[in-house]
Amino acid sequence: GAGVSQSPSNKVTEKGKDVELRCDPISGHTALYWYRQSLGQGLEFLIYFQGNSAPDKSGLPSDRFSAERTGGSVSTLTIQRTQQEDSAVYLCASSLGRQGPPGDNEQFFGPGTRLTVL
């Protein structure tokens, strides 16, 4: 079946603009995750959804970042008033989440959205 898809694949924006990044998880996966990979940095966990709810938003870098998930499927990550330090690859992953045993929660990643803030 289809894997995790993300759009757009590349986004160039000007400082101060808002951007929306989209993630479409694997069908049937109830858990969805957003990560950020900055140049020279490791992968940083941002937020996790189980169904439509996000139990912990503390991983979001600032209050300019928000995420939502509706219908237990597609998620959008929104960055308001973008800054140059927001430039990174934003990766989305999905998994079975709490449907399966806690240890068997393999995450599958999408190709990412490369965001460049000029």
Partner 1 sequence: KQEVTQIPAALSVPEGENLVLNCSFTDSAIYNLQWFRQDPGKGLTSLLLIQSSQREQTSGRLNASLDKSSGRSTLYIAASQPGDSATYLCAVGSIFSGGGADGLTFGKGTHLIIQP
Q: Does 80 bind partner 1 (CB under 8 A)?
A: no
ω into 55 cis (within 30 of 0): no
Q: Of the two residues 80 and 108, which places its CB atom closer to partner 1 in the complex?
A: 108
Q: Phi and psi at residue 48, in whole multiples of 5°? A: -135, 135
Q: Does 110 bind partner 1 (CB under 8 A)?
A: yes
User: For residues 75 and 32, is the Cβ–Cβ distance under 8 A?
Assistant: yes
Query: Which residues, 39 to 78, sit near partner 1 by CB under 8 A?
Result: 42-48, 50, 55-56, 59
As a whole number of angstroms, the distance between CA 3 and CA 52 comes to 20
Q: Phi and psi at residue 7, in whole multiples of 5°? A: -145, 150
Q: Does 32 bind partner 1 (CB under 8 A)?
A: no
Out of 16, 105, 116, 118, the only residue in the binding site for partner 1 (CB under 8 A) is 105
Task: Name the residues that contact partner 1, by CB under 8 A.
Answer: 31, 33, 35, 42-48, 50, 55-56, 59, 91, 93, 95, 97-98, 101-112
